[in-house]
Amino acid sequence: MLLLATTGLRISEAAGILKDSVDLKALELRVTGKVERYQQSLKREVNQIPYESPSQLDKAIAGFVDYYNYRRYHKALGDVTPADVLYGRRERILQRRKEVRI
């Protein structure tokens, strides 16, 4: 209660800040999980063979990133690529798929 008094916040304002903090924590956990999943995918794909030089490893990682962002469909995105979402093509692609099914 001292914090509320010293900051001049009403209880309803403090509750809103607390809720925002909880929402941010949940978002942080979801993002962390996605990053961990991405790293697992990267390790699984890139660690298949030993590399003789760092430049070979760099090329393998760059190839995976290209595949992951531009060619791999992501179920969580509606089976479009991250690039499709980034460049605003997602809705047009999904609409076209609906038209083709009909």
Domain boundaries, the chain: 1-51
Tens digit of each residue's pLDDT (9 = 90 or more) over 29-88: 777 888 888 889 888 988 888 899 999 999 999 999 999 999 999 998 899 999 999 999
Cα dihedral 57/63/64/65 (nearest 10): 110
Question: What's at 26, amino acid-wise?
Answer: A
Q: Which pLDDT score, from 0 to 100, does residue 23 have?
A: 64
Distance CA 73, CA 85 (A): 11
| Higher per-residue confidence, 13 vs 61 | 61
pLDDT at 79: 92
Tens digit of pLDDT for each residue in 14-27?
A: 455 445 555 666 66
